[in-house]
Structure 1
């Protein structure tokens, strides 16, 4: 397995109705978060202890809430909010 991001529970549920420009910004930032998590958790599946807390991430045009789960080697995008 290798680090990646994904919408949870689905892209339609999380990103449905969000402007395409916002979705592009969210996905670009999610790529950055994946690279950072991969560098921080070198052996994700062997991670001991709790996962980091979820966080709100600001991007142009809105924000999103995500959760890093080292044992899954995933950054889960849970909610997108446009403004």
Structure 2
């Protein structure tokens, strides 16, 4: 288990406005799992040919995705964007 945390960037209100509660719950579940990976979170999701930078991870069977940054010096995963196709 890692001592990493996760947070919304810029804010929860901005990123989750208008999303169904189930989508928000899934995003928060995935963010918790990403934080548990700790430094390995820089290798999760797309792009698969390099690590670091803004990454993407599908949610709910491909009906959307999250964009996130894993920042080792902050020991934090930042959720930067949520795209939901519905």
> Same fold by TM-score, threshold 0.5 exceeded?
yes
**Number of aligned residues:** 72
TM-score (norm 1): 0.77
- Using the TM superposition, give the Cα deviation of residue 3 of structure 1 relative to its aligned residue in structure 2, in angstroms: 1.2
Moved over 2 A (4+): none
Structure 2: tracts of 5 or more residues without a match: 42-50
Conservation of the 8 A alpha-carbon contact between 1:18 and 1:80? no
TM-score (norm 2): 0.75
Higher helix fraction (1 or 2): 1
Structure 1: tracts of 5 or more residues without a match: 42-50
Which protein is bigger by CA-based radius of gyration?
1
The Cα RMSD (Å) is: 1.8
